[in-house]
Amino acid sequence: RDITNLQTGTNRYDLRTYNQWAYNLKSNTEYYFRGVVQNGKGTGTGDWVKFTTLEE
């Protein structure tokens, strides 16, 4: 699985998706990420997602 372009699905309020590139990841390392959005109504956060990079 290519994890250089981390993507999430959509949420129940908005049909748009978002993505973020991840650079210089170390091999055989566990990483966590989640989406965070902010607008005039406040801040929302997505669920934490975990992945482990492959060994070289």
Gap between the Cα atoms of 25 and 29, Å rounded: 8
Look at residue 1 in the predicted model and tell me its pLDDT. 47
Q: Would you state the structure tokens that stand for residue 23, as one six-digit string?
A: 């650079």
pLDDT in tens, 1-41: 455 555 555 555 555 677 788 889 999 999 999 888 888 88
Domain boundaries, the chain: 5-52
- Roughly how many angstroms between the first and final C-alpha of the chain, as a whole number? 15
Residue 39 bridge partners (DSSP): 42
- HEC states along 1-56? CCCCEEECCCCCCCCCCCEEECCCCCCCCEEEECCEEEECCEEEECCCEEEECCCC
Question: What pLDDT, in 10s, does the model give residues 44-54?
Answer: 888 899 999 99
